[in-house]
Amino acid sequence: MDDSSLIWDDGALVTIDQRELPHEVRELRLHTVDEIIDAIATLAIRGAPAIGIAGAFGVVIATRAHTVDGVVDEAAVGAEADRIAAARPTAVNLAWAVQRVRGRIADGADAVLAETLDMLAEDGRVNRAAATHAADLVQRLCGDRPLRLLTHCNTGRLATSAFGTAIGTLRVLHERGVVTDALVGETRPLLQGARLTAWELAEAGIPHRLTIDSAAAWAMATGQVDAVLVGADRITANGDVANKIGTFPLALAARHHGIPFIVVAPESTRDAAMATGAQIVVEQRPAAEVTGFGTVSTAPAGTPVFNPAFDVTPADLVTAVVTENGVAYRNSDEFTEHGRFARADP
């Protein structure tokens, strides 16, 4: 694999199977719509931007499969696009990306592929731009000193196509030589922090320590965190932020301790059409993710479970949302615009 975590190769989407990390770097080649939907649903491919791009490649595959003698069966491809967009409900990037390439179906599979490859190329640029703005902000808020940063889940090159968002910000700050510690929440129950972020930070040579999610408030109370950096799956018009379960308590703890809580995400994660976080569909995941640890059962058989994959952090707990277009601060009921902060045209 090169630096991109998503590669188009001879009619297949090639990626790393994130279910197998960190023990094995297993290549996954996806040739069919069903394989792509399964990879997204089972988190072989995960992270809002990554599932969006993977979904778009799914539409490429569907368009190829439903083209006979150069004529596209648009209804059939549209039905497949609907299925792909529904593979996971919370991250708006999936529906956004599928919608974007949908506009090219009538022009044929090559046009859908070209649009998808554009999106793939944009993703790395967008992430680096957002991460650079976020790094500037962190240094403005925290001052010119060594930094200890806390992050949650995985927002790196695995969760995007390249570079990452919150982890991208850690990369930029590390390039500037100011990161002394990245505290990584393990991210129960699927351990994206322990399995994926610790792997990516080690790969990038960024100093880090893994901790249990419930240690975060105590780390802040004992002066070990200068800022919290997280990604997002959907940011509603009022600034509420859906992200991996466990993000909301980080924002509460950060507010209590007066620590900046910064969300780094592409514009494609902003959902201007959704008024508030109350409307976000939060994915519920299988009970087995909570009642066991790997193959070992840790709860009595049949224990009822509450297993939301995401939570929604109210806008007033968010210090800033940072995208490729710049930084927006929360200011009473309005975002005050610092730089351009309008939804980028697709």
- Binding positions for substrate are 46-48, 88, 192, 243-244
- When asked if residue 165 is in the footprint of ligand MRU (CB under 6 A), the reply is yes
**Nearest to 28, CA basis, from 47, 155, 61, 40:** 40
Interface residue with ligand MRU among 36, 119, 149, 153 (CB under 6 A) is 153
- When asked if residue 192 is in the footprint of ligand MRU (CB under 6 A), the reply is yes
- When asked if residue 46 is in the footprint of ligand MRU (CB under 6 A), the reply is yes
Sheet holding 270-271, edge to edge: 270-271, 234-236, 241-244, 310-313
Instruction: Supply the minimum distance, in Å, between the C-beta of residue 127 and ligand MRU.
Output: 8
In the chain, helix, strand, coil percent, each to 5?
40, 20, 35
Measured from the CB atom, the residue of 231 and 326 that comes closer to ligand MRU is 231
How many Å apart are CA 238 and CA 229, to the nearest integer? 20
Task: Return the C-alpha torsion angle 295, 84, 91, 196, nearest 10.
Answer: 40
Stretch that binds ligand MRU, among 106-114, 140-148, 155-163, 252-260 (CB under 6 A): 155-163
**Nearest to 320, CA basis, from 257, 263, 272:** 263
Task: Say if strands 227-230 and 147-151 run parallel, antiparallel, or are unpaired.
Answer: parallel
Interface residue with ligand MRU among 195, 244, 270, 330 (CB under 6 A) is 244
Please identify every residue annotated as catalytic. 233
- When asked if residue 233 is in the footprint of ligand MRU (CB under 6 A), the reply is yes
- When asked if residue 236 is in the footprint of ligand MRU (CB under 6 A), the reply is no
- When asked if residue 271 is in the footprint of ligand MRU (CB under 6 A), the reply is no
- When asked if residue 231 is in the footprint of ligand MRU (CB under 6 A), the reply is yes
Measured from the CB atom, the residue of 63 and 323 that comes closer to ligand MRU is 323
- When asked if residue 189 is in the footprint of ligand MRU (CB under 6 A), the reply is no
Measured from the CB atom, the residue of 153 and 179 that comes closer to ligand MRU is 153
Which residues 286-345 are close enough to bind ligand MRU by CB under 6 A?
Answer: 309
Q: Which are the contacts of 268, defined by CB distance < 8 A and separation ≥ 6? A: 49, 52, 92, 93, 96, 97, 126, 344
When CB distances to ligand MRU are compared, the closest residue is 231
Q: How many beta carbons lie within 10 A of that of residue 92, not counting itself?
A: 25
How many Å apart are CA 39 and CA 16, to the nearest integer? 11
Contact positions vs ligand MRU (CB under 6 A): 43, 46-49, 91, 153, 155, 159-160, 165, 192, 231-233, 243-244, 309
